[in-house]
Homo-oligomer: A and B are copies of this chain.
Amino acid sequence: MAKSGNTMFAVLGVLTKGVYSGYDIKKHFSGSLHHFWSESYGQIYPALKELVAQGYAVEASTPIQTRGQKKYQITPEGMEHFRKWLSAPIGALNYRDELLLKVFFATPQDKEVIRGLFEHELGELTNAMEVYREQQRALITQKQPPEDLPMWMLTLNYGILSTEARLQWCKESIEWLNQQR
């Protein structure tokens, strides 16, 4: 039952930024974190329970609880635990890419099908780029920039660079497929 992977740290990480409920935390994973990390309620609530059990977080008694909300606050022990994780080397990236898998297994006779997949991906990536650009605008035009902004910018830069690379790959691949006909 004790979660030992990154989920606990991902949740704890959100708590380093403020006092939040499970529901709030989920919104983080559906928002700015969405492009490189996500967790479901089925992970978040047990993780919070476990964090409290291990003394890394406590239920915060805010004066006015809206609805049945339970807010959680990180403890000094939790902060230490988190910063230890932060400086630890990262594990191997377990990357699974369905599009790559299909392209790899495709034969020349599947060209049209693959071209269709590329076209679709092109659309998705274009949408993603718009989201990134908007997030970038939102970050830059902030009156009171928070001290963490530079780090957010770094992750945003990655989103943009990696998406551009994949976009370029799709275009080049479509180009190549068109020349084959």
User: Which chain B residues lie closer than 8 Å to A82 at the CB level?
Assistant: 105
Of residues 73 through 87 on chain A, the ones whose CB sits less than 8 Å from some CB of chain B are: 82-83, 86-87
Shortest Cβ distance from residue A85 to the other chain B in the assembled complex, whole angstroms: 8
Interface residue? A66 (CB, 8 A): no
Question: A152 vs B36: C-alpha distance in the bound complex, in angstroms?
Answer: 27
Question: A82 vs B151: C-alpha distance in the bound complex, in angstroms?
Answer: 43
Interface residue? A120 (CB, 8 A): yes
Q: Are A86 and B108 also in contact (CB < 8 A) when A96-B36, A161-B168 are?
A: no
Q: Is the CB of B147 within 8 A of A173?
A: no
| Residue from A33, A90, A173 whose CB has the most chain B CB atoms within 10 Å | A90
Closest to A166 in B: B162
Q: Are A37 and B110 also in contact (CB < 8 A) when A105-B13, A120-B89, A165-B161 are?
A: no
Interface residue? A64 (CB, 8 A): no
Shortest Cβ distance from residue A57 to the other chain B in the assembled complex, whole angstroms: 15
Of residues 87 through 116 on chain A, the ones whose CB sits less than 8 Å from some CB of chain B are: 87, 89-91, 93-108, 110, 113-114, 116
What are 10 A-B residue pairs whose CB atoms fall within 8 Å in the complex?
A33-B101, A37-B97, A38-B96, A86-B102, A86-B110, A93-B99, A104-B152, A107-B148, A157-B172, A165-B165
With A37-B104, A107-B151 given, can you name 8 additional A-B contacts, CB distance below 8 Å? A36-B101, A38-B96, A82-B105, A89-B120, A90-B99, A93-B99, A100-B155, A164-B165
